Amino acid sequence: MTKRLSPLELMQQLVAFPTVSRDTNIPLIDWVADYLASHDIQSHRYVDPEQPKHALFAHVGPWQEGAIVLSGHTDVVPVDGQPWDSDPFEVMEKDGKYFGRGTCDMKGFDALAIWALVEAQHVGVKRPLQIALSFDEEIGCTGAPPMINAMQPVLPKGAAVIVGEPSMMQAVSGHKGGSGFDTHIRGFEVHSSLMDRGVNAIMFGAKLIEWANLTNAANRDAVPGTLAQAFDPPYTTLHVGQISGGTAHNITAKDCYFAMDFRVVPGETKAEWEARYREVVADVEQQMQAIVPETFIQLSERFNVPALSPEDEGEAETLVRSLTGDNASHVVSYATEAGQFQEAGYSAIICGPGDIAQAHQPNEYITKAQFEAGHGFMRRLVERLCT
């Protein structure tokens, strides 16, 4: 398999692996490793100890620090229940668009990154290039941190990371952080006619949710911080998207479950927000325990993705700006792996082809024009690494 594949051929291969986050991605990683090996590129893996998932990383060029790192995730969101007009796991070209699950988010970029690495190998770059392909991004960015830890002792440390989430090839230098806490309220069941002796888990849970409503309103009315100003909305938001609990309309609910999610603007931290939430939880728990001592509220962290803070004269941003000609400043409100790379000490930026509006949709697509723009970007990047 020494044949060199085009970016489109690479994307067709990657899309054909149905790497929905709940399923394995190992066949895709095996294929990428074999393809790289056929071009004399050695790849390395992070092997998840608990589930059949691998991350892959590789280095091309002089064995020294300072590489540009191209990073993408290999998992995709499910297609269940979505009305697709074509096979989601086959790239279908129509009307100037490539349709298929992951074409936009983000196997299109993964394909371009693999293309660039092989190109860099053949032209013999003077500055190294690395790729890092993760898993479990779509279920809370849980795959990248162990991959980043595994990369560091194996590869020379990279300098700047380009995370190719769809940004229409704009340089996105900031995003909000995200964290979520599964909240379990254990109340005490009695017939609702005796509700003063029971602890209704749903009604006490509602106090926490109302705290979220009041906090959102207060955040909205406050003057935004300097780093927060660029965001829409320019403040931290609290959100409950799912709730369950109770057994019958005339029984005080014994249990209530929901997830409290925080989207935190740069300049504020998850730790501060967690502390505030825990304080309110402790207060509500005290009210419950005054009625029935064995009741409780339990929190468990479901995900935690740090914010990406715009860097002052950051290397990743400077590089991407010079390759794209984009000199405006952009931030987004969705979380990515870029904040995790930044937290691990890399300069990081988001820049990838396609429109985030297409991500996760039925009939997901990337336009040929965006895919071509991504290809042009990679050509210029490899050229730059030769100088």
Secondary structure class of 225 (helix, strand, coil) = coil
Decide if residue 105 touches Zn ion (CB under 5 A): yes
What is the distance, to the nearest Å, from the Cα of residue 47 to the centroid of all Cα atoms in its chain?
A: 19
Q: How far is the CB of 106 from Zn ion (least distance, A)?
A: 5
Question: Binding mask 225-264 vs Zn ion (x if CB under 5 A, - otherwise)?
Answer: ----------------------------------------
* 8 Å CB contact between 25 and 135: yes
Instruction: List the strands of the sheet with 177-186, edge to edge.
Output: 237-245, 255-264, 177-186, 296-305
Helix intervals (H) in 16-89: 26-37
State which of positions 61-100 bind Zn ion (CB under 5 A): none
Decide if residue 332 touches Zn ion (CB under 5 A): no
Decide if residue 285 touches Zn ion (CB under 5 A): no
Residue placing its CB nearer to Zn ion in the complex, 147 or 228: 147
Q: How far is the CB of 175 from Zn ion (least distance, A)?
A: 12
Q: How far is the CB of 82 from Zn ion (least distance, A)?
A: 17
Size of interface with Zn ion, in residues (CB under 5 A) = 3
* 8 Å CB contact between 21 and 138: yes
State which of positions 185-224 bind Zn ion (CB under 5 A): none
Residue placing its CB nearer to Zn ion in the complex, 105 or 119: 105
**Count of alpha carbons within 13 angstroms of residue 279, beta-carbon side:** 8
Q: How far is the CB of 119 from Zn ion (least distance, A)?
A: 23
Q: How far apart are CA 334 and CA 253, in angstroms?
A: 34
Both structure tokens of 88: 């989601």
Q: How far is the CB of 143 from Zn ion (least distance, A)?
A: 12
Residue placing its CB nearer to Zn ion in the complex, 105 or 136: 105
Q: How far is the CB of 350 from Zn ion (least distance, A)?
A: 10
C-alpha radius of gyration, the chain, whole number? 23
Q: How far is the CB of 137 from Zn ion (least distance, A)?
A: 6
Q: How far is the CB of 141 from Zn ion (least distance, A)?
A: 9
Residue placing its CB nearer to Zn ion in the complex, 135 or 277: 135
CA angle, corner 43, sides to 40 and 48, nearest 5?
160
Question: Binding mask 140-169 vs Zn ion (x if CB under 5 A, - otherwise)?
Answer: -------------------------x----
Residue placing its CB nearer to Zn ion in the complex, 211 or 371: 371
Neighbours of 269 (CB within 10 A): 14
Decide if residue 350 touches Zn ion (CB under 5 A): no
Cis check: omega of the bond before 166, within 30 degrees of 0: no
Residue placing its CB nearer to Zn ion in the complex, 102 or 128: 102
Neighbours of 74 (CB within 10 A): 26
Q: Please, which contacts does 205-208 make with residues 24 or more away whose CB atoms are closer than 8 Å?
A: 205/243, 205/245, 205/256, 205/258, 207/284, 207/287, 208/183, 208/260, 208/277, 208/280, 208/281, 208/284, 208/297
Residue placing its CB nearer to Zn ion in the complex, 11 or 106: 106
Decide if residue 308 touches Zn ion (CB under 5 A): no
Decide if residue 338 touches Zn ion (CB under 5 A): no
Of 10, 14, 67, 106, the residue at the interface with Zn ion (CB under 5 A) is 106
Q: Interface residues with Zn ion (CB under 5 A)?
A: 105-106, 165
